[in-house]
Amino acid sequence: MPIRRLPETVVNRIAAGEVVERPASAVKELVENSLDAGASRIEITLTDGGRTLIAVTDDGCGMDDGELALAVERHATSKLPDDDLRHIATLGFRGEALPSIGAVARLTVTSRPAGGACAWAIRVEGGRLAPVRPAAHPPGTRIEVRDLFFATPARLNFLKSRPTEVAHTVDAVSRLAMARPAVSFSLSEDARTLLSLPSAGIEGDDARLQRLSAVMGREFSANALAISAEREGIRLFGHAGLPTLHRRTSTHQYLFVNRRPVRDRLLHGAVRAAYHDLIAHDRHPLLALFLDVPADLVDVNVHPMKTEVRFRDAALVRGLIVGALKQALAAAGHRAASSAVSAPWTGSHGASGRGAWRPIPPPSLSTDSLTLALDAGFGVRGLAEDAAPFARGHGVSQPSAPTPDSDDAIPPLGFARAQVHATYIVAQTADGMVIVDQHAAHERLVHERLKAALASGGVTRQGLLLPEVVELDSTAIGRLTARLAELAELGLILEPFGPGAVVVREVPAVLGDLDVAGLIRDLAEDLATLDEATALRDRLANVCATMACHGSVRAGRRLAVDEMNALLRAMEATPHSGQCSHGRPTWVELKRADIEKLFGRR
C-alpha cells in the first residue's frame, strides 16, 4: 500500500483520541482555556452527562473574527509567543483542544473581545468547518459542544454511565477550581446544580483555604495544617489534614504544579512517608499541596492531557514535601498537647473543649505480643485473671483505692477504676488518667486481630452451642451465600436454611457473646453496598466495624473490672489501637498536672 498523508480531519480525530477521552476531558480543556483567557467567572452546563451538550461560558478576553478562525485550527495557539517550550506559564500550549473537539463533535465557538463592536461565531462539525459569521454575545466566550463523539462511535461506546461521567466532570472542574480561588465556577447538569463556587476573593492563603473548604468539605479546613516550605527555588504551600482525618483511598490527595492540577505518584509516596507512623496503613490523609516550580525545572509536555509532569529533580521535590509535612505534623502534635484547644479529631467543641484532654500516640509495643495478649482471651469468656490486681470485682468507682507503690508496675493505659455510662472505661495511669471508648477500642482490636489472622491463614472460630437461624429476604440471602467462602475465612460459618433463612454455626471467637442475627442482617446490608468484584478482605475495616458493633464490648454494655483491664492490656499490645477503624481516638489521657491545672493547684 502506498504511503499517504492523512487528511486533516483524520489527523484531528486521531489527536482527539488522546486529548478528549470523555466529557470530563472536554470540559477540562475548555475551562483551562477560560482560565488562560483571564476569566473571573466560568459557567459550565451539561445535558445528559455531557453527551448531548457541554456549554462553557466565560467573561475572559474573548476573540475577534480572525482569532476565531485560527483558534479551531490544529496547532494554532496564542500561548507560545516565542517557540520556547521551557517557559510555559499557561494551562494550554499545544493548540489541540478546539480542533480535537471539533473533529469528534459539533463545536460552536461564540466570542467577543473586550471592547469589540460585535461577537463572532464559528462552527466545526466532525471536522467540517463553516465560515465565521457575526453573532450576538456579550464580551467573553461561549463554547458549545454538541453530540460528543458522534463522529467517532467507537469512543462513544466506551462512555460509562451518566452518573459516572458526571462524577468525572465534577472532579475535573473541582481540581481546576481549587487552584483558582478568585475565580467563580458553576457547574450544572440540566437543572441540577453540581458545583457552585463563588469567588473567594483576592488570591492568598485565606481565599485558598476557603476554596479548599468548599471543594473538600468543611471538615477538611477545620482539621488542616498550613504547609509552607521552600528549597532551591521551589516553593511548597497548601494544607494537609491531621492524621485523624482520613479516607479509604488516596483520591483526596491533590497536587498542583504551577497551579496546574497534576496526577503524580510522587505525591502519594511522599504522603505515605510523612504520615507513616501516624495513620493506619490502609487509610489515607486528605491534602492539597501546591508547588511553584521555576518553569525550567519542570516539564509539562509529557502527555496531551497535560496532567503528568516531569521534575528535573524528583528527589528534591519529594524531600521537600516529606520534610514540610513531617515538620507541620510534629508541630501540630506539640500544639495539640500544650494549648487549651479542643481535641483536633473532631473539630467540635464539647464540654471538654477548653480542657487539657488530648490524644496521645498509641503505645508502640511490638506486634509480637499481639497474639499473646489477644490469646489471653479478652472479650471471650475467660478473662486474664491476673490482669486486674487492684480493682478486681468492682464495677464502680473506687476513689480511695490504694495507689500501687511502684510506678514501674503500672502499664501505659493503667488499671481500670470505673466504667462510666456503660461506655467509657476510666483507668488510673502512673501520672494521670485515661478514658477509653470501650466500643471504639474493641472495634480496633477486632480489626487488628482479623487482619493478623487473615495474614497467617486462619481466624479462630467459636461454635455456637445452638446454631442460630436468621430470617432474611431472598436478596440478602443471595448476597450472603455468594460469599460463604469469604465469610468462612473471616470466621463466620453459615449456610442457607430453607427459602427465607440462613443458619449460623460458628462465629469469630474474638467477638465474644454475640447478637448473631443483628450481625448477619447488617453484614447483608454491607454487602449490598459492595460491588461484587470487591473482596471482603479489602473492606476489612468496614466488616470489622460491623462485627464489633454486635460483639460483646458494645457501647452500653456493663463490663466487669477484669474485662476492662483485659481490654486495656489487649490495646497496649495491639498496633494502631489508639484509633478506631474510623480514625477516631479510642482513648484520651489527662495528665495529673493537667488535672491540677483544672483545679487551680498549679
Q: Does 63 bind ligand ADP (CB under 6 A)?
A: yes
Among 65, 96, 165, 589, binds ligand ADP (CB under 6 A): 96
Phi/psi for 162 (5° steps) reads: -55, -50
Determine, following the binding rule CB under 6 A, whether residue 300 of this chain makes contact with ligand ADP: no
Q: Is residue 42 at the binding interface for ligand ADP, with CB under 6 A as the rule? A: no
Among Mg ion, ligand ADP, none, residue 78 binds (CB under 5-8 Å by kind)? ligand ADP
Residue list 498-557, contact with ligand ADP (CB under 6 A): none
Other beta carbons less than 10 A from residue 318's beta carbon: 17
State yes or no: residue 470 binds ligand ADP (CB under 6 A): no
All cell numbers assigned to 350: 464539647
Q: Which is nearer to ligand ADP, 42 or 476 (CB)?
A: 42
Give residue number: closest CB to ligand ADP.
92
- Contact assessment for residue 57 and residue 201, using Cβ atoms and an 8 Å cutoff: no
Q: Indicate the residue among 15 and 97 with the shorter CB distance to Mg ion.
A: 97
Which of 258, 260, 249 has the alpha carbon at shortest distance from 303?
A: 260
Q: Which helix (H) or strand (E) holds 323?
A: helix 314-338
Which one among 15, 29, 46, 184 touches ligand ADP, defined by CB under 6 A?
Answer: 29
Give the C-alpha separation, 510 to 491, whole Å.
Answer: 9
| Residue 96 interacting entry, from Mg ion, ligand ADP, none, C-beta within 5 to 8 Å by type | ligand ADP
* Separation of alpha carbons 366 and 452, rounded Å: 13
Which does residue 93 bind out of ligand ADP, Mg ion, none, counting CB within 5 to 8 angstroms by kind?
ligand ADP
Please tell me the distance from the alpha carbon of residue 251 to that of residue 285, in angstroms, as a whole number. Answer: 10
- Residue (38 or 201) nearer to ligand ADP, CB: 38
* Residue 468 is a binding residue for ligand ADP (CB under 6 A): no
Interface residue with ligand ADP, options 16, 53, 88, 97 (CB under 6 A): 97
CA separation for the pair 370, 447 (Å, rounded): 12
Do you know the residue count of the chain? 602
Query: Which residues have a Cβ under 8 Å from the Cβ of 141 and sit 6 or more positions away?
Result: 33, 34, 37, 57, 58, 60, 62, 63, 109, 110, 111, 112
Smallest separation, CB 29 to ligand ADP (Å): 6
Choose from ligand ADP, Mg ion, none: what does 412 bind? Cβ within 5-8 Å by kind: none
Which of the listed partners (ligand ADP, Mg ion, none) does 565 bind, with a CB threshold of 5 to 8 Å by partner kind? none
User: What b/e readout covers 333-360, taking b as 16+ CB neighbours within 10 angstroms?
Assistant: beebeeeeebbbbbbeeeeeeebbbbbb
Closer CB to ligand ADP, 58 or 448, in the complex: 58
Residue 159: CB partners within 8 Å, gap ≥ 6? 22, 23, 51, 149, 165
In which element (H, E) is residue 238 found?
strand 234-241
Nearer to Mg ion, 12 or 33 (CB): 33
- Residue closer to Mg ion, measured from CB, 33 or 565: 33
Which residues here bind Mg ion, judged by CB under 5 A? Answer: 33, 92, 97
To ligand ADP, the closest distance from the beta carbon of 299 in angstroms equals 16
Question: Which residues of the chain form contacts with ligand ADP (CB under 6 A)?
Answer: 29, 33-34, 37, 58, 60-63, 71, 77-79, 92-98, 141
